[in-house]
Amino acid sequence: MPSHREDELELEQGLLSGVSRKEQLPERPLLYSRRPLLYIMLLISFLGLSWVFLRTDARQPLTPTLNVPRNVQLDWAQYSPYFPAGTYSSPPSGCKVDQIQRHGARYPTKGASTAIRQALAKIQSVDEYTDSRLNFLRSFKYQLGTDDLVPFGAAQSFDSGVEVFERYSHLTNGRNIPFVRSSDSERVVVSAQNWTNGFSFASNHRFNPPVAVIISEAANDTLDDSMCPGAGDSDEQTSAWLGTFAPPITSRLNAAASGANLTDKDTFSLISLCPFETVFLEKGSPFCSIFAEDQISFPGFEYAGDLDKYYGTGYGQELGRVQGVGYVNELIARLTNSPVRDNTQTNRTLDSNPATFPLNRSIYADFSHDNQMIAIYAALGLFNSTALNPTQPDPAHIWRVSDLVPFSARMVVERLDCGKQGSNVRIFVNDALQPLEFCGGDPRVGICTLKAFVESQSYSRNDGEGDFEKCFLDS
């Protein structure tokens, strides 16, 4: 757990985790709810300024390293900590730039926490363990909260704000600071605040962007995935995979803890304690050692996350990508300096007001959920590949949620204004440059013209081509 001195450093640098610092939260401008949140996205668009690549390496990241091999962490699916999936490169000489990004590690949601406690009660009820890796359970006390950021996640968001300032400080001045929005779930708002604190800190507090708009999830909200009640879920596919990979692990645990009578769902919950405890303790959890040697548990856990997102709000869900349409139309408005044209999830009151949806900023930052980020990827046409098989994973599949939406994931959309060549677009997801074949991009440089990019987004520009209306049909 973080030390007292680490807590003091968090206070000095303005970190908010929601764990012990809720009293520092400013009064919210809009009503918020406490519904479970999964992740956060931050959009940053840089418009109309000359490019100079700036980066300082004097400051070490605040986010601690975890005493767990990176390849293991990358098998934690959406609970993986952020790692760059590529190497960010500066735009071609003479161009200008726009960008996008996301949030940090949290406790389990309320539902996941209930399932974890039930599994723990079973495995801790037995009289004897025949596997020494389980002996710590005799005195183990469950300490995790629910829903809030952990300090590790707060640091991730702070570091993200620092990185954006270091990378794009030349786009900021006293009249042009980042415009930041957030969906109104508490940990999303807190992540946005940590990001702005990091940006301010990196600028020596010269530039102090506020969280300007907090969008209620009870109304139209392009940063939340709750506006399609007719959409299905991924239960069929994830259940099929759980029944494929988990039985031998469950059998091993039940043999080592006779009388526990664990189910495959219990096994899944116990595996999840490895990432959740690790980001809480900021060191490897003893639960990791239970599953580290069988070569099945963590890869199986990762693929369960891949299936969950693919068939939840991704390409495998008929009404998945339509949930990202409103956001894509907001992105097009920012890239083209034109009013938002949308009849889906956008909040027209906010988007029609220059005070709450300006078009004259260099940096825009939006904080959202992982499920919503997946829908936006799908609406844009990113990561489109062969459908995932629920029982036979393809080792070469590219849809890996640890690369797409880990804790503190970032999507970056850049507008490059290249003189006589006109405006172009690049997209990075966690620093991995996207090929953009869907708009005629050259995979080697990942650039297509702004005109071609806008034209490629016909699904969004046409309000989901009838799919949005299906969200509200009676089943």
Residues involved in catalysis: 103, 370
For Cα atoms 231, 232, 233, give the angle at the middle one, nearest 5 degrees: 130
- Give me the phi and psi of 62, to 5 degrees please: -75, -30
DSSP annotation of 106: B
Residue type, 358: P
Which residue stretches of 323-392 are H helix?
Answer: 325-336, 348-351, 370-380
Q: Provide the Cα torsion 318, 367, 342, 97; round to 10°.
A: -110
The residue among 135, 197, 181 whose CA lies nearest residue 351 is 181
Q: What would the two tokens of residue 369 be?
A: 């959920």
User: CA-to-CA distance for 112 and 360, rounded, in angstroms?
Assistant: 42
User: CA-to-CA distance for 444 and 431, rounded, in angstroms?
Assistant: 15
Q: What DSSP string runs through 52-76?
A: ------SSPPSSPP-SS-HHHHTTS
Q: Which residues partner with 398 through β-bridges?
A: none
Give buried/exposed letters for 296-328 (b at 16+ CB in 10 A, else e).
ebbebbbbbbbbbbbbbbbbbbebbbbbbbbbb
User: CA-to-CA distance for 222 and 325, rounded, in angstroms?
Assistant: 8
